[in-house]
Amino acid sequence: MDCEKQNLGGGVTRLSWSPVLVLITLVGLLSLQLTTTTFDPTRLLWGRSSEAYVSGGEVRKSCVRFYGGLPERKVLMSIEDFGGVGDGTTSNTEVFRRAVRHMQQFGGGGGSQLNVPKGRWLTGSFNLTSNFTLFLEEGAVILGSQDPKEWPLVEPLLSYGRGRERLGARHISLIHGNGLTDVVITGKNGTIDGQGRMWWELWWNRTLEHTRGHLVELMNSRNIFISNLTFCNSPFWTIHPVYCSNVVVKDMTILAPLNAPNTDGIDPDSSTNVCIEDCYIESGDDLVAVKSGWDQYGIKMARPSSNIIVRRVSGTTPTCSGVGIGSEMSGGVFNVTVEDMHVWDSAAGVRIKTDKGRGGYIVNITITNIRMERVKIPLRFSRGANDHPDEYWDPNAVPNVKGIFFSNVVSLNSSKAPSIQGIEELPFAGICMKNVSLLGLQSSAAWHCEFVSGFAENVSPMPCPELKNNVSSSC
């Protein structure tokens, strides 16, 4: 399946970028192109204490310090050195697995880098190792196998208690890692294509036996850097760091047909110190979704997502949101900043999704400098997901939502006013809005608020009475 032009027969095709977006994207990509087969850290002026990097001569605020400086690997090898064949039809599953096993021995001596040259490299799932770089050269495409047996089954996540879609085990991701340190996935804008249509059809036909695999999932790992590639056609969520720390996802293009089910772009899950920057995403689900476990399993594990920055992300999703928190957030979510986001032709701009039974908390969320165009509901807090892992969920486990700060938000041509629906047993508190303009709404469109309190200043049209038209010191 072509990552650039996708059509599943349902009348949904990839939206064309506007000329301005094309220009911005080209400038960004050109400024970050690599000139050798190794990543050149001098192209980005940052390190462990840096707050900025240079792009096109402009110094831009950045959170890449979450990862640190990119290492220079001591051992460089090509997948061809292990007998790989990039013809698009020969299976390289055992080749990739053998290559990583071989390079694992160099982890203590400066690490290693596996180069994937130009070609189409068909493979099933394979694991990464520590102190390791997977580098896709220009024109390199890794293709996910169409044989489900090459996506083996693994145990469900402890914070979910079962596969997210089906009971029991789940399929492993195409590229996977567990308990790793210092992993880089990058290149000269190569592509990893999950060829997910096979999996989507199983979902649509209701013949899926086990939860679909992600394109990339890293578990219990730290110091992760993913950049300068195109990921497309993931069977399920595309990038899923879970129980991880110090993760940077930067300068990525993530694509899926707009009707491909549950193809979230980037889902940090029970992870801390996560930086998502300068990414373009088209998806059949949320562009970015922050999660932390599902009902009683997430509550028991108590691994929150925290210190997460989402910056300069743009894209579209016709069914979901630009950035979502939840609905699986039972381990808690705190200290999340979303800024400089552009979302268009989407169901929602920013959405917080939770329900009775989730427990946990969503606290100290800052959302600023957001531009939306033709987004159905710009701001939405929803309850009543009615989505639980099993019958053992606790209806008395009510999530605590407070301290949500919006500023400098502009929405053009939305069809509905914001909907902010809290939970009666524990209303959402401290919902603060400043400089929020919803332009093009019909005069009959009214905010819908229940079980919520907060403050508003310079918000148009007038917000619901629950958001008093002044600003408290807490805002």
Give the residue numbers marked as catalytic. 285
* DSSP result, 158-182: TTTSS-SSSSS-EEPPSEEEES-EE
CA distance 444 to 466: 19
144 and 105 Cβ atoms separated by less than 8 Å? no
What is the number of residues in the chain?
475
User: Long-range contact list for 197-206, CB < 8 A, 24+ apart?
Assistant: 197/1, 197/8, 197/233, 197/260, 198/146, 198/148, 198/235, 199/235, 199/236, 200/8, 200/235, 200/260, 200/261, 203/165, 203/261, 203/262, 204/261
* Nearest alpha carbon to residue 294 among 199, 389, 225, 379: 389
Please count the other Cβ atoms lying within 10 Å of the Cβ belonging to residue 91. 15
For residue 419, cis peptide bond before it (omega within 30 degrees of 0): no
Rounded to 5 degrees, what are φ and ψ at 26? Answer: -60, -45
CA distance 271 to 291: 9
456 and 418 Cβ atoms separated by less than 8 Å? no
Secondary element (H or E) of residue 324 = strand 321-325
Structure tokens at 370: 């957001």
Structure tokens at 54: 């240079």
What torsion, rounded to 10 degrees, do the Cα atoms 250, 252, 257, 262 define? -30
